[in-house]
């Protein structure tokens, strides 16, 4: 008698005759043969994604198939505010880098160079009159001009600092000694040994190498010309700052245009007045800042070219007038830097106003 083996009832049912046994797993097979990952419905995104969303100010991503309008508006608002703040800071630093030195150049450095040139020229003329057989009014006049020029140079706070002012005081004292010795020589008989001794001593005070009056004044004038070159230079740092400012201005203008087109497409409104006002303010503000900077920069370059070489005595007054013309209105343009900050705040306020109403209309409901 042979034993009959059979299949338990229900084995292979529902398998379409494939004869595979049920493994008892609750996971449904993946269409491609892989097990689908288990994910709880409604589970929030991972922490880095949530932090990134907060930094962007966009909030959580809407569910699949939901409206993205609120998120798109929030992202654009954050971008406009960030670009406006960065542009304001960069433009203010760039503007101050040029205009911050223009007013000291006009009121201090350039007049100090001209005062030292005047003193050197007056002392040269006084030396020519020192050999006269009798005291002359021309000699006293040239000494007075030199003393007044040194006083004007010492009044400038930028003349070499405390060391420069001390050097000017020393030179002023030496000029007084020089004038006294010349007057003593002129009181002596013509051709006397004492007259020649006084005159030789006075000439040494004026022309001695390294320690004479003229050598000291030339050293101070060289320092002042170096200060003028430093104040009028437009180095790599300023080029980089202005390049960054112009790139940020272009980026903000593009962002304003894209946001205007987005609102026009999404809400069927032709213009957004606050955004248009922000675009006009951006164009006017950056254009004015660039124009003021070009004018100031050109005036500073002309001043440097004028003061960088020796000036004949008869041209010193003319050089003073030309310098004043080159640097005219630099104080007003330098004071305009505060309007960059005011304009930046106004720019951010317009961007916020232009998008706030739409953001409030499409705000996500709290979960």
Q: Are 126 and 142 in contact (CB under 8 A)?
A: yes
| Nearest Cα residue to 81 out of 275, 267, 247 | 275
More confident residue, 43 or 356: 356
Q: Is the pLDDT of residue 360 over 80?
A: no
Q: What is the largest CA-CA distance in the chain?
A: 169
* Predicted local distance difference test score (pLDDT) of residue 63: 52
Average pLDDT, the chain: 79
Q: Are 160 and 167 in contact (CB under 8 A)?
A: yes
- pLDDT (tens digit, 9 = 90+) per residue, 223-266? 999 999 999 998 899 999 999 999 999 999 999 999 988 888 87
What's the chain's length in residues?
367
Helix, strand, coil distribution of the chain in percent, nearest 5: 70, 0, 30
Q: How many CA atoms lie within 13 A of 87 on its CB side?
A: 29
pLDDT mean over 137-142:
86
* Predicted local distance difference test score (pLDDT) of residue 363: 59
d(CA 174, CA 180): 10
d(CA 44, CA 74): 20
Q: Are 133 and 186 in contact (CB under 8 A)?
A: yes
**Residue 32 banded pLDDT, cuts 50, 70, 90:** very low
Contacts of 197 (CB under 8 A, 6+ apart): 185
* Predicted local distance difference test score (pLDDT) of residue 55: 38
Q: Which single residue is written with the structure tokens 């304009």?
A: 343
Lowest mean per-residue pLDDT among 27-36, 187-196, 320-329: 27-36
- pLDDT (tens digit, 9 = 90+) per residue, 36-51? 444 444 454 455 444 4
More confident residue, 67 or 140: 140
* Predicted local distance difference test score (pLDDT) of residue 315: 86
* Predicted local distance difference test score (pLDDT) of residue 248: 96
Q: Is the pLDDT of residue 5 over 80?
A: no
Q: Tell me if the pTM is above 0.85.
A: no
Q: Are 283 and 253 in contact (CB under 8 A)?
A: yes
pLDDT mean over 147-176:
82
Q: Residue 106 carries which DSSP code?
A: I
Q: Are 259 and 355 in contact (CB under 8 A)?
A: yes
Q: Are 120 and 217 in contact (CB under 8 A)?
A: yes
pLDDT mean over 131-135:
69
Q: Is the pLDDT of residue 287 over 90?
A: yes
d(CA 213, CA 116): 11
């Amino acid at each position: 008698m042979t034993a009959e083996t059979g299949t338990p009832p229900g084995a292979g049912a529902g398998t379409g005759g494939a004869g595979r046994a049920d493994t008892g797993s609750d996971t449904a097979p993946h269409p491609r043969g892989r097990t689908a990952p288990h994910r709880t419905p409604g589970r929030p995104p991972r922490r880095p994604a949530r932090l990134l969303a907060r930094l962007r100010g966009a909030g959580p991503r809407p569910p699949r198939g939901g409206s993205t309008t609120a998120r798109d508006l929030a992202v654009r608002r954050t971008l406009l505010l960030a670009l406006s703040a960065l542009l304001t800071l960069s433009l203010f630093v760039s503007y101050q880098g040029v205009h911050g030195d223009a007013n000291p150049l006009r009121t201090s450095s350039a007049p100090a160079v001209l005062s030292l040139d005047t003193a050197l020229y007056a002392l040269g003329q006084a030396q020519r009159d020192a050999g006269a057989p009798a005291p002359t009014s021309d000699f006293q006049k040239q000494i007075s001009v030199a003393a007044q020029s040194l006083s004007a140079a010492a009044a400038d706070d930028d003349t070499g600092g405390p060391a420069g002012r001390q050097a000017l005081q020393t030179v002023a004292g030496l000029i007084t000694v020089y004038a006294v010795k010349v007057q003593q020589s002129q009181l002596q008989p013509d051709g006397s040994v004492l007259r020649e001794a006084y005159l030789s001593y006075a000439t040494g005070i004026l022309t001695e190498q390294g320690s004479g009056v003229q050598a000291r004044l030339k050293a101070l004038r060289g320092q002042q010309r170096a200060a003028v070159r430093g104040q009028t230079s437009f180095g790599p740092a300023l080029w980089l700052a202005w390049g960054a400012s112009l790139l940020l201005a272009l980026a903000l203008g593009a962002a304003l245009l894209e946001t205007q087109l987005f609102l026009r497409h999404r809400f069927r409104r032709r213009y957004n007045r606050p955004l248009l006002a922000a675009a006009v303010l951006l164009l006017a503000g950056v254009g004015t800042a660039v124009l003021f900077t070009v004018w100031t920069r050109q005036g500073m370059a002309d001043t440097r070219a004028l003061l960088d070489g020796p000036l004949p005595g008869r041209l010193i007054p003319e050089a003073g007038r030309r310098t004043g013309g080159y640097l005219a209105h630099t104080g007003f343009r330098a004071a305009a830097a505060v309007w960059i900050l005011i304009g930046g705040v106004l720019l951010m306020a317009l961007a916020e106003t232009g998008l706030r109403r739409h953001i409030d209309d499409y705000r996500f409901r709290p979960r």
